[in-house]
Amino acid sequence: MATFGASLLALSVVGLVAIGVRPDILERLSGDPVHEWWGGNESWGTGPGMEAPPPGPGDAEGFGWTVATGGTEPVGTGPLYRYRVEVETAIGIDANEVARVVDAVLAHPRGWRNEGVSFQRVDTDAPVEMIIRLATPATVDQLCAPLDTNGQVSCRNGIDVVLNQRRWENGVDAYAGDIESYRILLINHEVGHALGHAEHVPCPGPGQPAPVMMPVYYEGLQGCAPNLWPYSEDGRYIG
């Protein structure tokens, strides 16, 4: 795993249901936890005492993006993170379908809103704190530079949360056959880096819920149980 400054390379991987979103994934995101984990995103993150990577491209000129239309009401309480969802046009995936999953993940009662922050998706004219992008492997490598994604993984670079199409469509061994869950984890892992959770964490013990900040792509579940969310039902931080 390459390093940049004091930052840790976190590589994100996601799954293999091609275009669109199956209805059961939205049922999973309705509030009742169905799985205890979706694992395997790794990307760069920064936190207190760690050197931040240079800001992401932001506008990402020259790539061609389809922006999800409309927006959401704020969810959560605390400082507001406005975000936009974009899909590289060459991929051919509906940006609005990707946005539906992102919106549901960020609004989930076991998600990062427990961190004391709020989220709102906005349109192209509004300022944002995050741009969540689904991009081809080659574009990911460019947007994540100087981070080393090797055409395989995702990253968080500046305000850009860049999801790799290869991982979105092919997933990882630890979550083979459950792409939808893995995509939930991917979003939670990368947004966790954007919120300042820079370091990856190991499995806390056999059979325990896998923290979403584990580097599952490289290390698997390490004996942990699958878990999709950074917080438990009773509000306890899992990681």
pLDDT bucket at 62, cuts 50 / 70 / 90: low
- φ and ψ of 97, to 5 deg: -70, -40
Judged by average pLDDT, the poorest of 7-21, 77-91, 161-175 is: 7-21
Domain boundaries, the chain: 3-219
DSSP at 67: E
Per-residue model confidence as pLDDT tens digits over 176-196: 888 998 899 989 998 999 999
Where helices occur in the chain by DSSP H, the ranges are 23-28, 95-107, 137-144, 165-170, 179-194, 216-219
DSSP at 86: E
Q: How many CA atoms lie within 13 A of 32 on its CB side?
A: 3
Q: By C-alpha distance, which of 189, 165, 137 is closest to 18?
A: 165
With tokens 């305000």, the residue in question is 159
